[in-house]
Amino acid sequence: MTDAVHPQPSSFTQFWWDGLRRNELLLQRCPACGRAQFPPLPRCRRCGGGDLDVTVAAGSGVVHSWIVAHYAFDPAVADDLPYVVATVQLDEGPRLYGRLVGCEPGDVRAGLPVRVRFQERAGDTVADFAPVPAVEDIPGFL
């Protein structure tokens, strides 16, 4: 994988990557206006408030939009084609991007309920998402 594809955290985003390694999806929350936000910023995007708290997201949300990648813009993803990247709207409000797994590209739709699936990819822990209930999550199903 090329260096550019690896996350390069900054002083205000390192906590997010640390959280992923603990299998926690972390959001900033503004004590002044109460809103959760992602991606991390030095202050609240909505009201400019500082001293942001960090909360653990439930990890569930719905698909807001998606693309199906059919071209490898980096050699690192060539073996993954085709793959789906979704913008997921979390229950807490913020959106984030994630690979959508456990779902054929043709079955993706807006509003599809999904849940985070922490994934090791090239040495980094990343947040993928899968439809709920995913087949593997159904007790007794093999």
Partner 1 sequence: MGGPFGTTAIAGAASTEYTFDSGRAVLELAVEACGGALDAAGLAPSDVDGIASYSAHADSVPAEAAAAGLGLGELGYVMDFTHGGQAPCFLVLNAALAISAGMAETVLVFRALNGRSGQRVGRTLIPGGGTEFRYPSGYLAYPQFIAMWCRRYMIETGATEEDLGAVVIAQRDNARDNERALRRTPLTLDAYLSEPFVADPFRRSDCTIEVDGACALVVTSLERARDLRLPPIVVRGGGWVSAEGGLDTGDLLYYDDTSRNFASRLAPKLWTSAGLGPADVDIAELYDCFTGALIENFEGLGLCERGGAGAFHREGRTRIDGTLPTNTNGGLLSEGYLHGMNTVAEAVWQLQGRSGPIQVPGAEVGVVTSGGLSSGSGLVLTVDR
**Ranges within 110-139 binding partner 1 (CB under 8 A):** 110, 121, 124, 126, 128
Whole-number minimum distance, CB 142 to partner 1, in Å? Answer: 28
Find all residues with CB under 8 Å of 103, minimum gap 6, and list them: 84, 112, 130, 131
Stretch that binds partner 1, among 26-34, 50-58, 72-80, 131-139 (CB under 8 A): 72-80
**Per-residue x/- track, 17-46, partner 1 (CB under 8 A):** --------------------xxx-x---x-
Distance of alpha carbon 64 from alpha carbon 78, whole angstroms: 25
Residue 86 phi, psi dihedral angles, 5° rounding: -115, 150
Residue 45 phi, psi dihedral angles, 5° rounding: -65, -30
Stretch that binds partner 1, among 26-34, 49-57, 94-102, 131-139 (CB under 8 A): 94-102
Distance of alpha carbon 27 from alpha carbon 52, whole angstroms: 10
Maximum distance among all Cα pairs of the chain, rounded to whole angstroms: 49
68 binds partner 1 (CB under 8 A): yes
- Give how far the C-alpha of residue 79 lies from the chain's centroid of Cα atoms, to the nearest Å: 21
Q: By the criterion CB under 8 A, which residues form the site for partner 1?
A: 2-10, 13, 37-39, 41, 45, 64-71, 73-74, 76-77, 80, 82-83, 85, 87, 94-99, 105, 110, 121, 124, 126, 128
